[in-house]
Amino acid sequence: MPSTVQSSDAFVFFGATGDLAYKQIFPALQRLIRGGHFEMPIIGVAKSALDLDGLRARARESVAAHGGLDARAFAALSAHLHFVNGDYRDPGTFRQLHAALGRASRPLYYFAIPPELFATVADGLVGVDRHHGARVVVEKPFGRDCSSAQALNRTLHRSFPESAIFRIDHYLGKEPVQNLLYFRFANAFLEPIWNRQHVHSVQVTMAEEIGVHGRGRFYEEVGAIRDVVQNHLLEVVALLTMEAPPDGERDGLRDEKERAFRAMRPLATTDVIRGQFRGYCREEGVAPDSRVETFAAVRLFLDTPRWTGVPFYIRAGKCLPLSATEIRVLFKCPPHPVFDAPPAREGNYVRFRLSPDISISLGARVKRPGGTMAGDAVELLVRQVAGDDMTPYERLLGDAVRGDATLFVREAAVEAAWRVVDPVLGQATPLHVYEPGTWGPLEADQIMAAADEWHNPASVQKHAGCS
Ligand code: BG6
């Protein structure tokens, strides 16, 4: 971050009484305040039957339900909290906000609202001349496809320069996701083998035990590919595959990541298997004949000298047997089997476990004690921690307030990611029904090469080796 970047001096969140504020924003604010780096007016904006005391009560409930109430930090949050209650279409709402902002000249606006309202809110801010010097944080999904993402970007750019737009993908704020980059570039032993000569394939699985739980209406608009593949999981692939940024280059990390996105080959219909768990159509807010996918398995290739020909198998689904997100980078087997010759899928690997627990482990083979030269697969545990110390929203909101955009997504990267999935959105591919509690439709195997198979993450870490 350049030293000239100044911190925001007010935090304004639109959608103050909504779900995102309740589940993520209030808890992140309390944590930031507890950390001692967050002294500024906090202004919630929404049209609601609540008054300021009602909003405070909601904030209290929110932090109690998400991480626990910290009496001192919450008292400070409560004291800094203002509420502008009004319709976004009413210029009076923005006059109230203008007054609440007082002398603040570098507000951070968090648009925790549906994208259809972005233009209305941005125009309202321009109407009271409160857009200069501001930053704006916007939530995914950034559009529904490439062309709507471009339209959304044009809307935002009418009022804010690209440098002031912070697109949140909470995955980038996760500790183990950051560690992907760190582990890759801080260790010399990986670089020589992190390429097509040595890597056989890569699997990324994001399994969720829950269904759509009261989010049926939202989910109907997105489906698994738009909800998590286009953003979280392609971001993970970009971090796994990007080149190291040149030394000291400002924003070099985002430049390299963007190149990785551009190298991803747009998916063909034969690269994708979509599934829907049985019973999804009976969820609240879901059409009885919905063809929206709750599971997607994808085979992706990157056209770069480092990665050409290496398949990236990506899988995400709801109502799977357990919740876990894992990456498995599988290496090729030794070229000449001196001893036993296990199948390719049992080769050495690096496994990054992103959730619910966090670990990095290496898969290797060792000789089984005894008279024969035969071995077993073991795992060398590199690192294991119970969970994230810092929540993604705490990290990302703190960064946005300080003006550090490193972990935020650029317009070009968002559009490149949409170009990858655009050809397979909607009904472009068949939909297969799967039973809740299974690993998705059996058809998901079809995108795998004959010798490969999906590796299903375990619910509890099992380490055969030592750390
Ligand atoms: C969100 C998706 O972006 O990520 C949800 O909209 C999904 O459908 C969630 O459940 C998963 O995030 P996490 O941090 O719980 O793994």
Q: Which atom of ligand 1 is nearest to the CA of 169?
A: 3
pLDDT at residue 467 in the model: 31
Per-residue pLDDT, 62: 98
Residue identifier of the C-alpha nearest atom 14 of ligand 1 = 171
pLDDT digits (tens, 9 = 90+) for 165-195: 999 999 999 999 999 999 999 999 999 999 9
Distance 298 CA to ligand 1 centre (A): 18
Q: What is the pLDDT of residue 2?
A: 47
Candidate of 66, 140, 142, 232 to mutate for ligand 1, largest count of ligand atoms within 8 Å of Cβ: 232
With 0-12 CB in 10 A as exposed, 13-18 as middle and 19+ as buried, what is 371? Answer: exposed
pLDDT (0 to 100) of residue 342: 79
Residue 395 CA, ligand 1 centroid: distance in Å: 17
25: exposed, middle or buried (C-beta count within 10 Å: 0-12, 13-18, 19+)? Answer: buried
Output the pLDDT for position 403.
95
DSSP 19-40: HHIIIIIHHHHHHHHHTT---S
pLDDT tens, residue by residue, 65-100: 999 999 999 999 999 999 999 999 999 999 999 999
List the structure tokens of 394: 């705490």
Kindly tell me if the per-residue pLDDT of 460 is higher than 80: no
Among protein residues, the one with the nearest Cα to ligand 1's atom 12 is 171
Closest residue CA from atom 10 of ligand 1: 208
* Alpha carbon of residue 277 to chain centroid: 23
Ligand 1 atom closest to Cα of 392? 14
Question: Is the CB–ligand 1 distance for residue 227 below 6 Å?
Answer: yes
Q: Which two tokens stand for residue 382?
A: 């590199």
Cα of 170 from ligand 1 centre, angstroms: 9
CB of 355 sitting under 6 A from ligand 1: yes
Q: Which atom of ligand 1 is nearest to the CA of 232?
A: 3
Q: Whose CA is nearest to atom 9 of ligand 1?
A: 228
Task: Please provide residue 105's backbone torsions phi and psi, each rounded to the nearest 5 degrees.
Answer: -125, -5
What tokens appear for 49 in the block? 């039957």
pLDDT at 335: 84
Lowest mean pLDDT among 20-34, 44-58, 138-152, 244-258: 244-258
Task: Tell me the CA–centroid distance for residue 207 and ligand 1, in Å.
Answer: 10
Work out the pLDDT band at 459, boundaries 50, 70, 90: confident
Is ligand 1 within 6 A of the CB of residue 208? yes
For domain 172-391+407-447, say whether CATH 1.20.1250.20 is its number. Answer: no
| Nearest ligand 1 atom to alpha carbon 231 | 3
Homologous superfamily of the 10-139 domain (CATH): NAD(P)-binding Rossmann-like Domain (3.40.50.720)
pLDDT mean over 134-152: 94
228 lines ligand 1 (CB under 6 A): yes
Q: Where are the beta strands (DSSP E) in 368-444?
A: 375-385, 431-434
**Using 50, 70 and 90 to split pLDDT, how confident is the model at 464?**
very low
Distance from the CA of 68 to the center of ligand 1, in angstroms?
21
Q: What is the Å distance from ligand 1's center to 343 Cα?
A: 34
Q: Is the pLDDT of residue 1 over 70?
A: no
Residue 306 has pLDDT above 60, yes or no: yes
Q: Which atom of ligand 1 is nearest to the CA of 323?
A: 16
Torsion of the alpha carbons at 95, 98, 102 and 104, rounded to the nearest 10: 180
Q: What band does 343 get if pLDDT is binned at 50, 70 and 90?
A: confident
Query: Which backbone phi and psi does 233 adopt, to 5 degrees?
Result: -80, -35
The chain-wide mean pLDDT, for the chain, equals: 94
Using the predicted structure, report yes or no on whether residue 463 has a pLDDT greater than 90.
no
Q: Residue 384 pLDDT more than 90?
A: no
Q: What percent of the chain has pLDDT over 90?
A: 87
Token pair 């279409």 is found at 89
Q: Is the pLDDT of residue 159 over 50?
A: yes
Task: With a cut of 50, say whether residue 210 has pLDDT above it.
Answer: yes
Q: Write down the pLDDT at residue 163.
A: 95
Task: Compute the distance between CA of residue 26 and CA of residue 11 in angstroms, rounded to an integer.
Answer: 12
Q: Is the pLDDT of residue 376 over 50?
A: yes
Residues forming the active site: 232
Tokens 């953003």 found at: 231
* Distance from Cα 378 to the centre of ligand 1, integer Å: 31
Average pLDDT (250-267) is 95
- Read off the pLDDT band of 466 (50, 70, 90): very low
Evaluate if residue 339 carries a pLDDT over 90: no
CA atoms within 13 A on the CB side of 287: 8
Q: What is the mean pLDDT of residues 195-203?
A: 97
Atom index in ligand 1 nearest the CA of residue 355 equals: 16
The verdict on the CB of residue 326 being under 6 Å from ligand 1 is no
pTM passes above 0.85: yes
Task: Note whether 227 and 219 are within 8 A (CB).
Answer: yes
Q: At what angle do helices 175-186 and 234-241 cross, to 10 degrees?
A: 20
Q: Where are the domains of the chain?
A: 10-139, 172-391+407-447
Cα-to-centroid distance, 232 and ligand 1 (Å): 9
Report whether pLDDT(155) > 60. yes
**Among 139, 228, 393, which is best to mutate for testing ligand 1, by the most ligand atoms less than 8 A from CB?**
228
Q: Average pLDDT for residues 135-147, to the nearest whole number?
A: 93
- CA–CA gap between residue 454 and residue 273 (Å, rounded): 13
Q: Coil, strand, or helix at residue 316?
A: strand
Q: What is the pLDDT of residue 461?
A: 57
Strand arrangement of the beta sheet that strand 10-14 belongs to: 81-85, 42-46, 10-14, 107-111, 135-139, 165-168
Give me the residues paired with residue 436 across strands. none
Asked if pLDDT for residue 388 goes beyond 80, the answer is: no
Query: Do 108 and 8 touch, CB atoms closer than 8 A?
Result: yes
